[in-house]
Amino acid sequence: MNHPGTLPDSVTTATIRGVSLVKTFFATFPSVGEGLAYINDQLGTSYQHNHKSRWERGERDPGRNARAVMLHRVLPDVLKSHGRATDADIEAALDKLL
């Protein structure tokens, strides 16, 4: 899986704290549909818009694989923004997640 180069400006260190992985992940896409398409492409699933809403409200758990896709996309930039890891450290950590 490939992760993006940077989080969007709307997702800063201040906004990452206290928000869910789901919200942070979807903030990296121009639309919810594109975020769901990314997950579906990575996992061969067919998640729809109602899944995102249920995940955000805590009514349904995204599941291990969907969480791994979300983490793989956002975690590198979160760690880099805090200066806590090198690219090699991040790749090694992500490889262990999957």
Where are the domains positioned within the chain? 13-97
For residue 28, CA distances in Å to 66, 89, 92 come to 15, 22, 22
What pLDDT sits at residue 7? 55
What pLDDT sits at residue 38? 97
What pLDDT sits at residue 16? 45
End-to-end distance of the chain based on CA atoms, in angstroms?
A: 10
What pLDDT sits at residue 40? 97
Alpha-carbon gap, residue 65 to 87, rounded angstroms: 22
- Cβ 17 vs Cβ 85: under 8 Å: no
User: What tokens appear for 13 in the block?
Assistant: 């260190």
- Residues of the chain predicted below pLDDT 50: 1-5, 10-18
What pLDDT sits at residue 30? 94
What pLDDT sits at residue 49? 93
Share of the chain above pLDDT 70, in %: 77
